[in-house]
């Protein structure tokens, strides 16, 4: 269990602190009627993650059953996924240093929609961002694989995955909750936070990518028995 926690928390944090999706949440909350749209946006991301958990959790469970119920039947899967994540983070850091655009970032056309986006379109935007982004797929599949390898049983696995989803969306949930609880204060606070994110987006991405890339690389090499 401690090893699972040490794997899930960085995966959830890495999934939560992607600056682009945080900026979208803040921009939605600052538009007229934006709180409803922001809820729909978060709901869209949640639906995709839950669908991924259901489908791939069943597939991994079936694979474990075919292997005779041995949890270790896919013992190399998690280290390999973590190794992919490490490489991905280093690539992101390198691209940011070289000033290359983020392939997973929404297009300017999508961003322009946020000024008057309706809840249904915000929901589809949330679905689309998580569904087409390679990094979000790897984060979620890494969490599913780690939970499956931990052998928690059906109930424990469901709870662990739901906890991962909540942590992965914690910044958005806090921002939306703040907007509903204190609308006047939230508008000023979110505006300042958005400005900071936009101003320091490059250094934030580079720092997070290097930290998480190194963490996942060490975890992967340890799991593969290399170090």
Closest among 157, 193, 177 to 54, alpha carbons compared: 157
Residue ranges of domains in the chain: 2-221
Task: Look at residue 71 in the predicted model and tell me its pLDDT.
Answer: 40
- How much is the average pLDDT of 194-220? 82
Closest among 59, 48, 44 to 124, alpha carbons compared: 44
Per-residue pLDDT tens for 128-151?
989 988 888 888 988 888 888 888
Cα angle 94-20-103, degrees, rounded to a multiple of 5 = 50
Task: Look at residue 105 in the predicted model and tell me its pLDDT.
Answer: 58
Q: Is the dihedral of CA 130, 136, 141, 146 positive or negative?
A: negative
Per-residue pLDDT tens for 161-189?
999 999 999 999 999 998 888 887 877 78
The label of the residue with tokens 């691209």 reads: 95
72/14: higher pLDDT: 14
Tokens of 92: 């992101």
């Amino acid at each position: 269990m401690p090893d699972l926690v040490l794997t899930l928390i960085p995966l959830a944090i890495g999934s939560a602190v992607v600056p682009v999706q945080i900026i979208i949440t803040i921009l939605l909350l600052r538009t007229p009627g934006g709180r409803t749209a922001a809820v729909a946006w978060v709901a869209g991301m949640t639906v995709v993650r839950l669908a991924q958990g259901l489908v791939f959790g069943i597939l991994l469970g079936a694979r474990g059953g075919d292997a005779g119920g041995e949890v270790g039947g896919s013992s190399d899967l998690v280290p390999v996924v973590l190794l992919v994540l490490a490489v991905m983070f280093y690539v992101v850091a390198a691209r940011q240093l070289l000033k290359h655009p983020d392939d997973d970032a929404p297009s300017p056309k999508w961003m322009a929609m946020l000024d008057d986006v309706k809840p249904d379109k915000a929901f589809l935007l949330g679905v689309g961002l998580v569904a087409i982004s390679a990094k979000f797929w790897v984060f979620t599949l890494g969490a599913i694989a780690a939970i499956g390898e931990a052998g928690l049983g059906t109930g424990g696995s469901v709870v662990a995955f739901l906890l991962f989803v909540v942590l992965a969306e914690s910044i958005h949930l806090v921002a939306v909750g703040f907007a509903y609880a204190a609308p006047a204060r939230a508008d000023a606070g979110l505006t300042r936070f958005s400005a900071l994110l936009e101003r320091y987006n490059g250094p934030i991405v580079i720092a997070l990518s290097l930290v998480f890339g190194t963490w996942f690389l060490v975890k992967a090499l340890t799991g593969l028995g290399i170090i």
